[in-house]
Amino acid sequence: MASHSTPSRAARVLPWALLLALASFPLIAPGFGLGYYVGFVRHALIVMIAATSLNFILGYGGMAALGQAGFIGVGAYTVVALVDAGFTSAWGAWAAAVAVAAAVAAAIGAVSLRTRGVYFLMITLAFSQMLHHLAVSLRIWGGDDGYGLHAPLELGIGLGGAQGRGLYWAVLGIAALLFAFLNRLAVSRFGYALRGIRDNETRMAALGYPVYRIKLAAFVGAGAMAGLAGALLACHHKFVSPSLMHWTESATLLVIVVIGGLGRRWGAPLGAALWLTLTEILKLHTDYWHWPLGLLLILIVFLAPEGMAALFEGRRRSA
Amino acid sequence: MDVIFVVEQLLNGLGQGLMLFLLAAGLTLVFGIMDTMNLAHGSLYMAGAYIAARAHQVGGNFVGAVLLAMAATALVAFIVELLVVRRLYRRDHLAQVIATFGLILIADDAVKAIWGPSPILAPTPAALAGPVQLLVELPYPAYRLVLLGVGLLVAVGLYLLVNHTRVGMLVRAGASNRAMAEFMGVRVDRVFSFVFALGAALAALAGALMGPISAVQIGMGEAILIPALVVIVIGGIGSVRGAFVAALLVGLVDTAGRAFLPPVLRAVLPPALAADLGPALAGIAVYALMAAVLIFKPAGLFPARA
């Protein structure tokens, strides 16, 4: 059982310091000639949102889903559909993406959650492959070639268009709020019930918990969150293509969560930061940037099976 | 849509199904016996395709090139099993997925370093380049016939090996209850090393044979891996017979979807909608099949474990 010792002062101040540093980064970075990295950090924050959604169902709920990229694609294509129809509000498009992704996740989850383990992994993969094929053949939105979002959506509230710094702060705000919300949720009644199901489903059912409904609620929430990440990604890249939904994208998210630390508060952010930074550095220096990452994965599986967050949080059992 | 077209498409589907079976047989045994999820199986397929294509170009002998590809890939797999996969048996599926995904990344870069980033040409053997007159009005590429023949031959061979030899008995014992087999004195880890290398050789065979009729390129392993996983899940993990039935089913459904759905849709829907919907439904057919099977038979058609 996790012991909830009072966090030290450093642990309480650190998240706020990090938030402040990230918020001021776009103002400071250009002065040091690091303007390029504002976009990089923005991308990392979006990936973190997607990874956090997976960490929630996999780490806390024990549901190994290999289809999270499908929901990212649903969110991104919702934005494409709205832009194509002449819609201009960023917040409205993002909210719509959340709603559509949640609906799709509810349908997929209702079927998939009847299976377990590897079969669950495979059936979520199958559904995301179906979504991928659907996107490839939808020629009104570019099909395999993708769809360019040429004019940015409007953010309003003094931030202007959904691009540059405005989009950066919007993404940072959303990421921080979701992160805080999920950390609260993890120690709520719902969060404890979800962890109980992960550890012993039969016992939770015997105690009278609606196991299936709790798992489905978590799955839908994670799908909606991934959809939001997809919508933000669409605005970030100003381009959407079916490759967003390729199964290797889902696998990469799994990798990020596992190297960060499954079911750990800082797992997803650490994993995303580590993975994307390494990818960026390796790409800069060599065309052969895959194999060091592959080697790293194998080493992590053998040497640090509980992920990076475990190294920082000490060796307590994962929460 | 006439009878000739239908027969031709069915033959194509059968060929595709048999090639999928070659891949799925190794995957399902590895999964069934050691409960190990090996995502890197597709990389062995890629290795087989590359080695065979280059050896055929250099040496000019197709059969020799295919055999060389099988032997070389089995050797690589044997080493990988010793170094990495063997340490994963006792870990959970997630750890296996992550580590073998790492192997994929390494394999892709290794192929890029050895043979370059662009696709390479896999020539069709000259003797098999022409068509064969199957029926009066049905010419069929000779190479695809050879594919069918080899696929069936391997399937029969594998059936005999698994069901009528001592090694096969040990394999089946390991697949149905590993712990019990170990108590009975079976060296399951040795059986597994053998099965892993055999599976690799079959994957390489599939890659070598598919090379001339598909693109030999980086990423081909990742593309074929998903259909192969679909096959073993439909068939029931660990069951070779299930993998055979499911592979043919998947091959036929996939080919039939691509060949017959678009004309049918064009007949009943407006052309623009049919043009969009046809390929989508054809691509989805296989996954819909798997989802349907899992809903009604959550452990596949032929569960290996009672």
* Within a domain: A55: yes
**Does residue B39 belong to the interface with chain A, where contact is any CB pair within 8 Å?**
yes
- Which residue ranges of chain B lie beneath pLDDT 70? 1, 304-306
**Cβ-count burial of B213 within 10 angstroms (0-12 exposed, 13-18 middle, 19+ buried)?**
middle
Determine contact, residues B142/B76, Cβ cutoff 8 Å.
Answer: no
**pLDDT > 90: percent of chain A:** 31
* Within a domain: A307: no
Check A297 against B99: CB less than 8 A apart. Answer: yes
**Does residue B37 belong to the interface with chain A, where contact is any CB pair within 8 Å?**
yes
Among residues B147, B174, B148, B146, the alpha carbon closest in space to that of B162 is found at B174
Residue ranges of domains in chain B, CATH in brackets = 8-122+131-296 (1.10.3470)
CA separation for the pair A37, B301 (Å, rounded): 51
Answer yes or no: is pLDDT of A7 > 90.
no
Q: What pLDDT does B134 receive? A: 75
Q: Which of residues 155-194 of B touch A (CB under 8 A)?
A: none
Q: Which of residues 60-79 of A touch B (CB under 8 A)?
A: 64, 66
**Does residue A120 belong to the interface with chain B, where contact is any CB pair within 8 Å?**
no
Q: What pLDDT does B68 receive? A: 95
- Domain total of chain A: 1
**Does residue B113 belong to the interface with chain A, where contact is any CB pair within 8 Å?**
yes
Answer yes or no: is pLDDT of A318 > 60.
no
* Within a domain: A103: yes
For testing contact with chain A, the best of B36, B38, B84, B106 (most A CBs within 10 A) = B106
Q: pLDDT tens, A149-183?
A: 777 777 766 666 666 778 888 899 999 999 999 98
Q: What pLDDT does A1 receive? A: 40
CA separation for the pair B243, B236 (Å, rounded): 7
* Within a domain: A305: no
Helices B220-235 and B41-59 cross at an angle (nearest 10°) of 130
* pTM score over 0.90: no
Instruction: Kindly write down the DSSP assignment for every residue of B46-101, as one continuous string.
Output: HHHHHHHHHHHHHH--HHHHHHHHHHHHHHHHHHHHHHTGGGGTTS-HHHHHHHHH
Confidence class for position A307, pLDDT limits 50, 70, 90: confident
Q: What pLDDT does B114 receive? A: 92
* Within a domain: A15: no
Q: What pLDDT does B162 receive? A: 84
Chain position carrying tokens 């550890």: A199
Per-chain mean pLDDT for chain A: 85
Answer yes or no: is pLDDT of A19 > 90.
no
CA separation for the pair B85, A146 (Å, rounded): 38
Check A136 against B279: CB less than 8 A apart. Answer: yes
DSSP single-letter state for residue A263: T
Chain A's closest residue to B32, CA to CA, is A118
Name the residue range of residue A203's domain.
Answer: 33-245
Confidence class for position A2, pLDDT limits 50, 70, 90: very low
Calculate the CA B17 to chain-centre distance.
8
Q: Nearest CB to B105: which of A126, A259, A293? A: A293
Check B287 against A126: CB less than 8 A apart. Answer: yes
CA separation for the pair A176, B143 (Å, rounded): 59
**Does residue B85 belong to the interface with chain A, where contact is any CB pair within 8 Å?**
no
Q: Nearest CB to B283: which of A118, A133, A255? A: A133
Q: ipTM value, please give it.
A: 0.84
Q: What pLDDT does A69 receive? A: 93
CA separation for the pair B301, B266 (Å, rounded): 33
**Does residue A217 belong to the interface with chain B, where contact is any CB pair within 8 Å?**
no
Answer yes or no: is pLDDT of A229 > 90.
yes
**Does residue A286 belong to the interface with chain B, where contact is any CB pair within 8 Å?**
no
Q: What pLDDT does B199 receive? A: 92
Report the relative pairing of strands B138-141 and A147-148 from DSSP bridges: unpaired
> Which residues in A lie closer than 8 A to residue B226 (C-beta atoms)?
125, 129, 247
* Within a domain: A286: no
Q: Which of residues 214-253 of B touch A (CB under 8 A)?
A: 222, 226, 229-230, 233, 237
CA separation for the pair B96, A290 (Å, rounded): 18
Determine contact, residues A247/B226, Cβ cutoff 8 Å.
Answer: yes
Confidence class for position A288, pLDDT limits 50, 70, 90: confident
DSSP lists the bridge partners of residue B131 as B141
| Residue A277 CB neighbour total at 10 angstroms | 12
User: From start to end of A34-124, where are the E strands?
Assistant: none
- Residue, of A22 and B111, whose pLDDT is higher: B111
How close B224 gets to chain A, by Cα (Å)?
12
For testing contact with chain B, the best of A66, A111, A129 (most B CBs within 10 A) = A129
Q: pLDDT tens, A127-144?
A: 898 899 888 888 778 777
* Within a domain: A318: no
**Does residue B276 belong to the interface with chain A, where contact is any CB pair within 8 Å?**
yes
Q: What single-letter amino acid sits at A1?
A: M
* Within a domain: A14: no
Calculate the CA A69 to chain-centre distance.
9
Q: What pLDDT does A317 receive? A: 47
Q: What pLDDT does A159 receive? A: 65
Instruction: Kindly write down the DSSP assignment for every residue of A184-219, as one continuous string.
Output: HHHTSHHHHHHHHHHH-HHHHHHTT--HHHHHHHHH
